Structure 1
Amino acid sequence: MSAHEEAAIRGQIEKVIDGLRAKDLDILREPYASDVVSFDVEPPLQHVGIEAKLASWARVFQVFETVDYELRDLMLSIGGDVAFGYAFGRLSGTMRNGVAAAGMWVRVTYGLRKIDGTWRIAHDQVSVPFDIVSGKGVVDLEP
């Protein structure tokens, strides 16, 4: 894995974080492939295409007055024109009603493709562990 390729991918993921903090859909559009498939924590099971991905983020912005996003332990594997990464992420901020939301830690997986010389997020998946007995998500874990 070359340092240049890793830096380029990390830069794209940082753009996602920058876009979230700025609540700016134009910034968020750039790092994603136009045909991105996202398996997010909110329904439906999948969001297909950049417009669906941005609509998901727009719903977050409707709920939050301020947004922060923290990413921990990002690990990358790069080969040719495809790469994947995984990390822990936490969305937090202040909701429009003034309540501070500390958020929950989730598991994030990225699948990237190099498209016309630029790394783009072609797939992302966000998940929480669940308790197999109750069938409920476990949202109080920390990395």
Structure 2
Amino acid sequence: MTTQHEADEAKIRRHIDKIVEGLQNKDPEGLKRLYATDIVSFDVQPPLQHVGVEAKLKNWAPVFTSFESVTYEVRDLTLTVGEEVAFGHAFARLSGTLKNGTAAKGMWVRVTYCLRKIDGTWLIVHDQVSVPLDVLSGTGVVDLEP
């Protein structure tokens, strides 16, 4: 018999799978349904924070306009799930073929997800994406693999 905790964890894992599907299908409306309207996102691109679901989608827009085909991978997703709040972390990589035919290998990033159960549905209320920093040079280290 599945516990509520196990059911919630399975729902959240499926939720993260839908990010993969939304990016690979270039489906901004599908992605929009995964985030709370007031999400705060700390992504690798400036500015320091993106506030609101429209800002989050604007952050994904270059993927839809620059890529002919998109591959998005999430590895090693680890979750901690409570009754109404959950968080997780993983590694993710966006790659694919650009519209000019160039293959884009992408880079592995670290992702943290914070979710809240809102009206019975798990939604991402905060995410953070980062790369390790070489402190001496002040540059991101983008050639590491999990």
Q: TM-score range by the shorter chain?
A: over 0.9
**Residue 11 in structure 1 maps to residue 17 in structure 2:** no
Q: How many residues align?
A: 143
Give the distance between the partners of 2:74 and 2:31, measured in 1 at CA.
Answer: 16
1:116 is displaced (CA, Å) by 0.1
* SS of the residue 1:2 aligns to: helix
- Unaligned stretches of 5+ residues in structure 1: none
- How many angstroms apart in 2 are the aligned matches of 1:33 and 1:83? 14
> C-alpha offsets along residues 58-93 of structure 1, whole Å, 9 cap, x if unaligned?
122111111110000000001121000000000000
CA contact (8 A) 2:73 2:92 kept: yes
Deviation by residue 1:75-122 (Cα, 9 ceiling, x = unmatched): 000112100000000000011111000100000000000000000000
- Give the aligned partner of residue 67 of structure 1: 70
Instruction: Look up the equivalent residue of 2:132 and give its one-letter code.
Output: P
Q: Which residue of 2 aligns with 1:135?
A: 138
Normalised to the residue count of structure 1, the TM-score between the two structures is 0.97
Give the TM-score normalised by structure 2: 0.95
User: What percent of counterpart residues are identical?
Assistant: 65
Letter in 1 for 2:64: F
SS in 2 for 1:142: coil
Runs ≥4 residues deviating over 4 A: none
1:100 to 93, 100, 103: 103
Looking at structure 2, the residues matched to 41 and 101 of structure 1 have their Cα atoms a distance apart, in angstroms, of: 17
